[in-house]
Amino acid sequence: MAVDYTKYLRMEKMPLYWCPGCGDGIVLKCYLEAIDELGWSKDDCAMVSGIGCAARVTGYVDFHTLHTIHGRAIAVAVGIKMTHPDKHVFVFGGDGDLVHIGGNHLLHACRRNIDITVVLINNWIYGMTGGQHSCTTPTGAKATTAPRGSFEPTIDVCKMAIGAGAGYVARGFAGDPTRLKKLIKEGLEYKGFALIDVFSPCPINFGRRNKLGDPAKLLEHMKSFLVSSAKAKRMSEEELKGKFITGVLHKDTEKPELTEAYKGLVEKAQASDEYWVKYVKGTLTDADRDEITREELKKLYPYDVETPLKKWKKL
Amino acid sequence: MGRIAFLNANAAVAEAALVAGLGFYAGYPITPSSEVPERLSKIMPEKGLPFMMMEDEIASINACVGAAASGVKAMTCTSGPGFSLKQEALGMACMFEVPLVVVDVMRGGPSTGLPTRPSQQDIMQARWGTHGDHPIIALAPCNAQEAVFETIRAFNLSEKFRQPVVLLTDGSLSHLHTKIYIPDPEEVEIVDRAEPDVDPDNYYPYDYNYEVPPLAKWWTEDGKSYRYHLSSLIHDKTGFPTVNPKYTQWLLERMHNKILNHLDEILKYEYYKMDDAEICIVAFGSTAEAARVAIDQAREEGIKVGMFRPLTIWPSPEEQIKDIASKVKSFIVAELNLGQYKLEIERIVGGKVPVYGVNQAAGVLIRPSQIYEKIKDPAKRVEIGLTEEELKRFGGGE
């Protein structure tokens, strides 16, 4: 059955801001199909993004959305999830945003296994600012800041995420939307931190400088770096050099999710008879409190200044 | 009835934040502020609230902005170097217009500076640390009891005006244990952000009809869901980006006017022995306590001196300073820096009367004797108020 995408989009914001041939729209479509299949209400969904082309997704999806600052979307999302553990929290962003400037937050969200789904649109370039090389630009590829080709090594984001303890790690490809939707859906369903690294073409700001301005040609080129996890099993280490494996790369169903772990901590803390425990339970008695006279308080606050106290505006 | 406790101002701030309705804390350890998160890590779970130590200073304020935007009262705490790292996100909070409290326990700078020593060197950082034209509210309590009261006020102002508020204490005040009274939440005025009076379909986060548009909680207690967009870009009433010059100018002016039009609710200050004063000491935070002693001593000798103590440092109390300038012969601004707030006082006084400074950035508090000396001879430079014997104890320097 066809998905009614308009249900999830702010249609008044159309047409999309992205360039012709950009993969962002494909990834967004796959993501919305996954949300639709799960039957999640828009009212329960919150999405955060930072800065960049992919970060513009928050402007289009009709959720609770925050378009924040460069690199910090995951940190912002942690604040939302910790205060609203029963809601679905997502982050969309690019490689420059989430891995390069924001890498520290990605690393620690992985470690915490907090139930946030991150869709990383990895286009190998800083697209919005005009095609500067990032931490995922293939070595030797040209960029506006690497006119002779990038001299830096790249990062395998998925390996990093697995090493850091992320519960669910997958790699997809904008050129294979059917599989991508499944990978995103599985990540959304996963109770813990899910990272879906999506190779996605930027023909304008990556492609054109590398004789790959034709989107189809760029997709083919990206595909040449990718190996399915099934095929990778049959390949030697030597053969896998420089390749990126697609599919579900890691899924840990045992690792506790962070907000669940925090619930356990709260239970432990609330098993005591401390002031704030009793306050919450409404069991405070006069024995838990201290009486203070106006004169005593004036000794602690001898200034001719208003207090926030209802009883003694001035002491 | 509340609780009587023996606490330092850091712990006092932590307790007061819970009284004020704190719902989320995220922080990063930094001397001399760490007792704030240490205490919160104990009491927040007791109240059933989330507490996080984040991977860095930047993450901690960003997590707070996320929590605050979604509808929860949030606070983070830091000191000079960490406050510098938080500045970009502080600007985002100003731009989003989300309530947020940032505690800065000032230590000696610049850079790593003097981690364990007090200063008041972040006065200008609090005002202009983040880029772009933005309003800010900054408060500076002078003792632990006032830290309790001002923490509550910081939350109230931030909720009322959808505005980040900076609470400035210092490394001395924050570590000085004193007797304090922590009121029960029911004993104090608590302000919560205004609720929208329209349903989610007709809600705009920056509605042009308001000076401070209500900031809807994403999920209200009665089960409503307000879905909307906040952007760190210049935005129109919907929260979506615009580059329209008319709405750009309008947004920035409204953001400033929501503060400047309500100075009567935001400014707070103390006049100490100012009725007949010919010399006005301007001091805040820990320094004000030294000034009080110096003033009492000078008064015994018949010198007509008093103090104007701003509790609200930013926005500055312009009218009050101007009024004093028309009555006194001189100002002495005493502060633990090389003259940051003095610049502001000079700007306001506009050359009408001389403005002198007692400025010390040595990592030790200004002593009453130093201020007293300045009262006696304002033109004389006041040296560090320590004897050779005392200096020896610090070691180094030879």
The enclosing domain of B305 has a CATH number of 3.40.50.920
**What is the count of structural domains for chain B?**
2
With respect to residue B265, please indicate whether it lies within any of the assigned structural domains: no
Residue ending a domain, among B159, B187, B215, is B187
Q: B284 and B377: one domain? A: yes
Q: Look at the pTM and tell me if it is higher than 0.90.
A: yes
With respect to residue B150, please indicate whether it lies within any of the assigned structural domains: yes
For B:255-294, CB contacts with A below 8 A are 268-272
- Please report the pLDDT score of residue A1 as a whole number: 58
Chain A to chain B Cβ contacts (< 8 Å): 199
With respect to residue B260, please indicate whether it lies within any of the assigned structural domains: no
Long-range Cβ contact pairs of A260-266 (< 8 A, separation 24 or more): A260/A85, A260/A191, A262/A82, A262/A85, A262/B45, A262/B50, A263/A85, A265/B45, A266/B45, A266/B48
Distance from CA of B210 to the nearest CA of A (A): 22
- Please report the pLDDT score of residue A178 as a whole number: 97
- Please report the pLDDT score of residue A2 as a whole number: 84
Closest CA to A52 of A157, A158, A126, A148: A126
Q: B290 and B167: one domain? A: no
With respect to residue B286, please indicate whether it lies within any of the assigned structural domains: yes
Domain ranges, residue B119: 3-187
Residues A150-187: tens digit of each pLDDT: 999 999 999 999 999 999 999 999 999 999 999 999 99
Q: B181 and B275: one domain? A: no
Average pLDDT over residues B157-170: 98
Average pLDDT over residues B338-350: 98
- Please report the pLDDT score of residue B1 as a whole number: 86
Q: B39 and B182: one domain? A: yes
Q: B35 and B163: one domain? A: yes
Q: Which residue of B has its CA nearest to A44?
A: B225
Distance from CA of B388 to the nearest CA of A (A): 34
**Domains, in order of start, for chain A:** 5-256 (3.40.50.970), 270-315 (no CATH)
Q: B55 and B154: one domain? A: yes
With respect to residue B64, please indicate whether it lies within any of the assigned structural domains: yes
- What per-residue string of b and e applies to A155-194 under the rule 16 or more CB within 10 Å gives b? ebbbebbbebbbbbbbbbbbbbbebbbbbbbbbbebebbb
CATH assignment of the domain containing B183: 3.40.50.970
With respect to residue B335, please indicate whether it lies within any of the assigned structural domains: yes
Q: B45 and B177: one domain? A: yes
pLDDT tops 80 at residue A131: yes
Q: B31 and B164: one domain? A: yes
Q: Model confidence at B24, in pLDDT bands (50, 70, 90)?
A: very high
Which tokens belong to A308? 């926030």
Residue ending a domain, among B136, B159, B187, is B187
pLDDT tops 90 at residue A100: yes
Residue ending a domain, among B160, B187, B214, is B187
CB B248 within 8 A of CB B301: no
Residue position matching structure tokens 């200073």? B57
Q: Which residue of B has its CA nearest to A262?
A: B50
Residue A93 per-residue DSSP state: E
Q: B175 and B309: one domain? A: no
Can you tell me the ipTM of this complex? 0.98
Contacts of B180 in chain A (CB under 8 A): 300
With respect to residue B288, please indicate whether it lies within any of the assigned structural domains: yes
Average pLDDT over residues A196-211: 98
Inspect the interface and report whether the beta carbons of A82 and B63 lie closer than 8 Å: yes
Q: Does B330 touch chain A (CB under 8 A)?
A: no
Of A66, A83, A306, the CB nearest to B230: A66
In sequence order, the β-bridge partners of residue B333 are: B282, B357
Q: Does B46 touch chain A (CB under 8 A)?
A: yes
Residues B179-200: tens digit of each pLDDT: 999 999 999 999 999 999 999 9
Q: B158 and B279: one domain? A: no
Q: B35 and B164: one domain? A: yes
Closest CA to A177 of A303, A294, A24, A292: A24
Backbone angles phi and psi of A116, in degrees to 5: -130, 135
Backbone angles phi and psi of A145, in degrees to 5: -105, 5
Of B66, B181, B272, the CB nearest to A76: B66
Residue position matching structure tokens 């609200």? B312
Q: B45 and B152: one domain? A: yes
Inspect the interface and report whether the beta carbons of B23 and A68 lie closer than 8 Å: no
CA distance A147 to A129: 16
With respect to residue B249, please indicate whether it lies within any of the assigned structural domains: no
Closest CA to A117 of A214, A31, A235: A31
